[in-house]
Amino acid sequence: MEIKDIMLKHEENYSKYATFDKESIRFKDYTPDIRPNFFRDTDRIIYSSSYTRYIGKTQVFTLPTNDNVSRRSIHVQLVAKIARSIGRALSLNEDLIEAIALGHDLGHVPYGHIGERFLNEISLKHNEGYFNHNVQSVRNLMVIENNGEGLNLSVQVLDGILCHNGELELQEYRPKKKTTDDFLNDYNNCYNVPKYVKTLVPMTLEGCVVRLSDIIAYLGRDIEDAEKLGLFNKKDIPIEISDVLGTTNREIINAIITNVVQNSLDKDYICVDDKIFNAIVNLKKFNYENIYDKIYTNKELDEIKHKFEYLFDNLLISLKEKDLNSKIYSKFYLPMNNDYKNNTSNERVVIDYIAGMTDEYFLNEYKHYELR
């Protein structure tokens, strides 16, 4: 028996609704090795430059003074762990789940969702279409990584990343069969069709599990982080929510995972019951009102927006002038292959560059141009 066959022996216990390794689809041929397809995809993601930068990216709170507050790196690991727990209970493909989970937020920008909002405004202003972090995650993996070569991941992984959208909670998640062309249409439409990103549905059950797990991972953890920073007290959570989900991150995760598994066993879709779903919706609303909408003052938002616009404008000048002293031209653009250079506008190059920055790198680049 070959090593890969040994590594795939657990597929004998898969649900009939699971995605099997042999179903992996790629855009390019590659030389197989001992690793199963989706296992290999996970390796390629965690060894990527984008993954390395997770540790310096905002989850909810930017550059927190408390070292125990979550960064983007811990969030994706939590999503992976939660999703694998559900996947194992439902006998799904944990390799595929892990690859999607660890790669789903690679396109997040400095300052998290606030930065995403401002980069979207810049992208639309310069006729580059809508900017969404999930779409940028796929772009990183298909177009930017490896100096423009991409990582040649399975379409099922890319699709799960594209469709993760943890900001849109549903009671039921049903996978939608897709071809490679269907995936590419979804990807391209996200740039051009208003709110198309909200209509995306994963092509695999594993992708559906990750999408729900993204929500599970941040609901309770964000409450804990807000408490650590003295911004919130979990005792303020309404009793109609706490009676169903609890108040601690551990209780919330356990309540939802248990309900998901109980309601999704031997089914071709993922779901929770009415009671849990309503509690999730209400807790998320509560978090927005008491945490997310209070992180920045209007003055701080104006300052962050200014930084994005100012940095974009100056980086664009450096790129157009082929300034060898600028990092965007010498370190980012020049090493790219000809496909990237010939098919990417200057404006899109700058967007790619900013989107890939850590919070600290973003501030250093801003200060560099501000002091010139």
Domains of the chain, residue spans: 3-294, 298-370
For residues 35 and 153, what is the distance between their CA atoms, to the nearest angstrom? 13
**Predicted model pTM:** 0.95
Residues 67, 97, 189, 22: is their CA dihedral positive or negative?
positive
* Residue range 330-344: mean pLDDT, rounded: 98
User: Which residues, other chains included, contact 219 with Cβ-Cβ below 8 Å and sequence gap of 6+?
Assistant: 252, 280, 283, 284, 287
Structure tokens at 366: 């801003």
Categorize the per-residue pLDDT at 1 as very low, low, confident or very high, splitting at 50, 70 and 90. low
Give the ranges where the chain is alpha helix by DSSP (H): 3-7, 37-46, 49-52, 72-89, 94-103, 112-125, 133-139, 155-162, 180-192, 205-228, 239-245, 249-264, 274-290, 298-320, 327, 338-343, 346-355, 359-370
Collapsing DSSP to helix, strand or coil, 26 comes out as coil
Question: Would you state the pLDDT for residue 27?
Answer: 96
Q: What is the mean pLDDT of residues 194-221?
A: 95
Say if residue 359's pLDDT is above 90: yes
pLDDT of 341 strictly over 90: yes
Which fold, 3-294?
Hypothetical protein af1432 (1.10.3210)
Let me know: does 79 contact 104? Beta carbons within 8 Å.
yes
The CA distance from 171 to 182, in Å, is 24
Q: Given pLDDT bands bounded at 50, 70 and 90, which one contains residue 230?
A: confident
| pLDDT score of 69 more than 80 | no
